[in-house]
């Protein structure tokens, strides 16, 4: 399969200049050194080169950041919620002002095409707007009491320091989901970003500090610590951190969850996704092809919501696969900052090796592979690949495993119950979709015995969630919910209150104690 691609990449010096300009624009004064001078490298998948190095956070510095956040919490929790919302409102204004600057850094560090990088920053703006409204809607409940002269109610209170651990593929949006909601809930935040995306974290920290200064909030409400796994473990194990919100692999979640719960902390886990879409005989194939290609090939297959499994009715499978392969051939691959590019690079060589290994295993399992070849754009350190379509004879163990690369496995079905079973049979449970014009099929897919995923869509792909709905999944995806709806409750503690305004003391359940 031959795909379009750009032929030239920017020079590393050019990319370095873009980084410096963007950081300067947002107000970051962080020190950046040349390659090899400090321990934490800041690289770009565009060229595969190290752009700068920076100092990783020491254990002593991490302890100080957590202590500062814990101290700030003692005053932030009693700050009226609408006043806390003013900080998030100001952050949103700064994000609007610096949308292009931050998107530039997202493209450089994560390899996202410009449109997707701008979309990620827009998601940050959207969640700020949502959180500002939420700051006046942290509602409790009044509950009917069985005792005369009594009122029973629920109230919600700030939880404490929230530790946020994020992954490279959404280097700024996931931080904002957690931070905007946590701040209006009265919590403070300590963020450990992916070691692959330290530059975007520097920019976000500069903006939140500017926002805090502008509205008179303590800077300690949001801190950032940088480094590898050991730095993240400091958040996981510290009893001052009330909630750890961690985004990453299932393996990471299996380690984080028990450690936090062992000290009776709370966890919010957003882990792997092995997402499927069902295409029925009644589906609008024109619409389905557009949605499938974006969901499967966008961000070079490096989203947690990427479409990885396509479950197609046997009567339309040949036509649909042919159209997807043709669409893949037309996708421009190359420099994600170049106009017209639709598929950027994989994050690093390990991701490429895992993709190659998965395709080799697919062939060994009897799969027919279209695409997946590497494109040589003149730099051996950068890894640009064509998205792959693989027709599989069955849903093998390989298909049950999430490979973070643009591989779409295609399987066929004849009965809708069979298709739903295939959707549900993998360990992950993040996102799912069905393409159909039959309302009974759509409703069946969304029913209690339909898709077992946290997200179940009809006639759209598996990716591109809006911030108004709670985001997250079931099973090995971790069960956490972030962003909209009532996801804010994870960042607060619930208190049940009983108020006796009578002069008697009746006991519940008719108990007499005389």
**Which of the residues are catalytic?**
270, 304
Q: How far is CA 195 from the centre of its chain?
A: 16
b/e code 123-150 from CB counts within 10 Å (16+ = b): bbbbbbebbbebbeebeeeeeebebeeb
**Token duo for residue 456:** 């179940």
Widest Cα–Cα separation across the chain: 89
What is the DSSP code string of 249-283? Answer: -HHHHHHHHHHHHHTT-EEEEE----EEEEE-TTS
For residues 510 and 514, give the distance between their C-alpha atoms in angstroms, rounded to a whole number: 12
**Which two tokens mark 204?**
């976000």
In sequence order, what are the beta bridge partners of 343?
Answer: 333
What gap in Å lies between CA 202 and CA 99, rounded to an integer? 15
What is the token pair recorded at 443? 């409703």
**Per-residue tokens: 62:** 């991490």
- What angle is formed at CA 179 by the lines to CA 173 and CA 181, rounded to 5 degrees? 105
Q: Name every residue whose Cβ is closer than 8 Å to that of residue 37 and which is 6 or more positions away in sequence.
A: 53
Phi, psi of 49 (to 5 degrees): -100, 155
Q: Is the sign of the CA dihedral 479, 484, 489, 490 positive or negative?
A: positive
How open is the CA angle 290-291-295, to the nearest 5 degrees? Answer: 120
Whether the Cβ atoms of residue 154 and residue 494 lie closer than 8 Å to each other: yes
| Chain-centroid distance, C-alpha 369 | 29
339 Cβ neighbours under 8 A, 6+ residues apart: 114
Residue with tokens 């290609």: 293
Q: Are 192 and 201 in contact (CB under 8 A)?
A: no
Coil/strand/helix, residue 222: strand
DSSP letter assigned to residue 111? -
Residue 30 zone, left/alpha/beta (φ > 0; ψ -120 to 50; rest): beta
Q: What is the DSSP letter of 218?
A: -
Pairing label, strands 384-385, 141-143: unpaired
Indicate the helix (H) or strand (E) that contains 94: helix 81-97
How far apart CA 372 and CA 359 sit, in angstroms, is 8
């Amino acid at each position: 399969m031959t795909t379009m691609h750009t032929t030239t990449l920017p020079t590393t010096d050019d990319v370095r200049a873009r980084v410096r300009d963007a950081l300067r624009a947002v107000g970051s004064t962080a020190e950046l050194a040349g390659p090899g001078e400090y321990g934490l490298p800041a690289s770009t998948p565009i060229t595969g080169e190290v752009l700068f190095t920076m100092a990783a956070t020491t254990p002593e510095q991490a302890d100080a950041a957590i202590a500062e956040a814990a101290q700030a919490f003692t005053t932030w929790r009693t700050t009226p919620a609408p006043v806390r919302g003013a900080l998030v409102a100001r952050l949103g204004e700064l994000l609007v002002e610096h949308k292009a600057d931050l998107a530039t850094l997202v493209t450089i560090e994560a390899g996202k095409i410009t449109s997707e990088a701008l979309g990620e920053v827009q998601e940050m703006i959207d969640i700020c707007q949502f959180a500002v409204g939420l700051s006046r809607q942290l509602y409790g409940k009044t509950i009917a009491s069985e005792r005369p002269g009594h009122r029973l109610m629920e109230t919600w209170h700030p939880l404490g320091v929230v530790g946020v651990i994020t992954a490279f593929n959404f280097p700024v949006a996931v931080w904002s989901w957690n931070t905007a909601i946590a701040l209006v809930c009265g919590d403070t935040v300590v963020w450990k970003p992916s070691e692959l995306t330290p530059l975007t974290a520097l920019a976000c920290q500069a903006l939140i500090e500017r926002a805090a200064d502008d509205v008179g909030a303590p800077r300690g409400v949001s801190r950032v610590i940088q480094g590898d796994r050991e730095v993240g473990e400091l958040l996981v194990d510290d009893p001052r951190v009330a909630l750890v919100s961690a985004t990453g692999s299932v393996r990471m979640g299996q380690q984080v969850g028990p450690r936090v719960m062992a000290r009776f902390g709370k966890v919010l886990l957003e882990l792997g996704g092995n997402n499927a879409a069902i295409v029925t005989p009644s589906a609008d194939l024109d619409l389905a092809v557009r949605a499938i290609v974006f969901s499967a090939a966008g961000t070079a297959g490096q989203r947690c919501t990427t479409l990885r499994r396509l479950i197609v009715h046997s009567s339309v499978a040949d036509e649909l696969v042919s159209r997807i392969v043709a669409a893949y051939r037309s996708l421009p691959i190359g420099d994600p900052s170049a106009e017209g590019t639709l598929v950027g690079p994989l994050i690093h060589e390990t991701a490429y090796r895992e993709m190659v290994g998965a395709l080799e295993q697919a062939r060994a399992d009897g799969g027919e592979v279209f695409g997946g070849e590497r494109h040589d754009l003149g730099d051996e350190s950068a890894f640009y690949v064509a998205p792959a379509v693989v027709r599989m004879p069955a849903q093998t163990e390989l298909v049950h495993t999430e490979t973070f690369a643009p591989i779409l496995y295609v399987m066929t079905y004849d009965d809708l119950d069979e298709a739903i079973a295939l959707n549900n049979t993998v360990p992950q449970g993040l996102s799912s979709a069905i393409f159909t014009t039959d309302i009974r099929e759509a409703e069946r897919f969304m029913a209690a015995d339909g898709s077992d995923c946290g997200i179940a869509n009809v006639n759209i792909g598996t990716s591109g969630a809006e911030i108004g709905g709670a985001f997250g999944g079931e099973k090995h995806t971790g069960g956490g919910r972030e962003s909209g709806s009532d996801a804010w409750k994870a960042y607060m503690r619930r208190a049940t209150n009983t108020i006796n305004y009578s002069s008697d003391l009746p006991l519940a359940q008719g108990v007499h104690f005389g």
